[in-house]
Amino acid sequence: MELPELLVKFKEYAPHVDTTAIELAYEYSVNAHADQARASGEHYFVHCSAVAESLIELKLDMPTICAGLLHDVLEDTPTTPEQLRKEFGDEITRLVEGVTKLDSLHFTSHDDAQAENWRKMMLATAQDIRVILIKLADRLHNMKTLQFLKPEKQERIAHETASLYAPLAHRLGMFRLKSQLEDLAFQYTHREEYAELSAKMEALQANRESVLANFKTTVEQHLAGTNIPHRILARTKSLWSIYQKMLRQNKPFEEIQDSLGVRVITDTVSNCYALLGIMHTLFKPVAGTFTDYISVPKINLYQSLHTTVMGLNGDLVEIQIRTEEMHRTSEYGIAAHWRYKSGEHGQDPHLEEKLNWLRQWIEWLQDLKSPREFLESLKTDLELHQVFVFTPAGEVKALPGGATPIDFAFSVHTDVGMTCVGARVNNKMVRLDYQLKSGDICEIQTKKGSVPKKDWLGIVKTARARSKIRHFLREKGIVA
């Protein structure tokens, strides 16, 4: 994208911000990459511009846009951090350094280099969340141009995208980006399945559009008499999510019926529940499909009411009901909190609180000394499946799938975890390696003077529990 167009898009949400730094960063990057080309044959700067464009779509602040334009100058050009700092100051330089990969010559294998790069990037993210937003925009454009690389490199990059970048986007609540990354990776990790599923989806497109149009018309007619503000968006599930559902349910594509979806967006939480009642009056709800993520939000801040209903012609339609603010958060996740308010640069006043879980999680990961162990722990903590477990007092704890009573104990309080000796789940004694399920009520039994055991490290799933246990064992000289 040319500079004038970038500036116009930026000015749409930040009309009062001086764009001189963006103009300077644009020119600096063009000149720094002047003699470089991408595998596609395009001028290298096309990539830098595309990254900046993605960051502008997320409505991020001026230093982030500058860092997006400059994100490869330290890695791929003779530019030094000192030169960059002199031209653009500490903030932008720190963001670029956070995104810049390490010199892999120091490592004995690609796996070690990859693990240490992730470790470095996550630690930079703990200082400034914008580092990971730039890296995700960088990876998105790299995935869009992956066809120009050799097949083995395509598969390696696609696998890393599917196992790390897409789950990270999910954990940050950036669902649109997560779906894009998953579908782009799907093309290369499961080539035949992708081609087959893509063709089937295309063949059904006209019918799907007709079903959704009829559904929207019916809903609009019934809502016309109410005073509930609303807008309805049609939504088609991503190919990767449909493929995953086929595997989970062991069904062919033709039997996966709820690949149709709509989002109903309104103004208040009370209207979300009012709309849910109307939907269940209009259409027959499918038993067991209702989930309330408004009362119990996901770890990544996501909130919505989910239900699946039987449409007029027997088609299953998944409905998500949410407020405008919930919709912004579900589309952009963490990035939504860097919005410019009324033309002024203002951050969400609750931003620190919303980022606290992420910072805490990264701090726990820092305790892992081995790069590979860090990477494996990161993958575990990025797993998308969550379970919601209750304390006896009714407090809900969100944990990754496969979490145990020990994980639960540490989520309640470090002292509870450290002195845990047993657990009752739904009033029955269970082993400490029992895998908790959503809806379980877990009661931890503690004993004064009891301490963590080394074999707990092979049982726990969360970074918090693993970090606390390892720290204790290291102090006792039990583990390195």
The pLDDT tens digits of the residues spanning 176-224 come to 899 999 999 999 999 999 999 999 888 877 777 888 888 888 888 888 8
Mean of all residue pLDDT scores within the chain = 86
Rounded CA Rg of the chain: 24
What whole-number distance in Å separates Cα of residue 340 and Cα of residue 61? 8
d(CA 195, CA 152): 19
CA geometry: angle 447, 423, 475, nearest 5 deg? 50
* 76 counts as catalytic: yes
As a whole number of angstroms, the distance between CA 312 and CA 221 comes to: 14
8 Å CB contact between 237 and 261: yes
Predicted confidence at residue 216, as pLDDT, reads 86
Catalytic choice (23, 57, 76, 443): 76
pLDDT at 150 over 90: yes
Domain 3-189: which CATH class? Answer: mainly alpha
Instruction: Tell me the HSE value of 466 on the side-chain side, using a 13 A CA sphere.
Output: 24
Round to whole Å and give the CA distance between 320 and 97. 39
Contacts of 76-85 spanning 24+ positions with Cβ under 8 A: 76/33, 76/36, 76/44, 77/32, 77/33, 77/36, 79/32
* pLDDT reading at 468 higher than 50: yes
Q: pTM of the entire structure?
A: 0.78
Q: How many CA atoms lie within 13 A of 168 on its CB side?
A: 26
DSSP-derived 3-state class of residue 360:
helix
Tens-digit pLDDT profile for residues 236-284: 678 998 898 899 889 898 887 656 788 999 999 999 999 999 999 999 9
**Helix (H, G, I), strand (E, B), or coil: what is residue 163?**
helix
CATH class belonging to 385-475: alpha beta
State how far Cα 49 lies from the chain centre: 23
CA dist 166 and 241 (Å) reads: 12
Residues 197, 202: Cα–Cα separation, whole Å: 9
Active-site option among 12, 42, 75, 376: 75
**Where in 294-363 does DSSP place strands (E)?**
305-310, 316-323
475 to 30, 141, 448, 471: CA distances (angstroms) = 52, 45, 19, 6
CATH architecture of 194-335: 2-Layer Sandwich (3.30)
> Can you say how many angstroms the Cα of residue 142 is from the centroid of all Cα atoms in its chain?
18
The secondary structure of 147-188 as a DSSP string is: GGS-HHHHHHHHHHIIIIIHHHHHHTT-HHHHHHHHHHHHHH
Angle 246-250-252 (CA atoms, 0-180°, nearest 5)?
A: 55
Residue in this structure with the two tokens 């919930």, named with its chain if needed: 326
What kind and span of H or E run contains 141?
helix 130-144
Q: CA-to-CA distance for 365 and 467, rounded, in angstroms?
A: 7
Catalytic annotation present for 267? no
Residue ranges covered by each domain of the chain: 3-189, 194-335, 385-475
Q: For residue 47, name the pLDDT band (cuts at 50, 70, 90).
A: very high
Q: Tokens 């995208």 belong to which residue?
A: 161
Q: What percent of the chain has pLDDT over 90?
A: 52
Out of 39-43, 190-194, 371-375, 472-476, least confident range: 371-375
Sign, CA torsion 428/432/438/443? positive
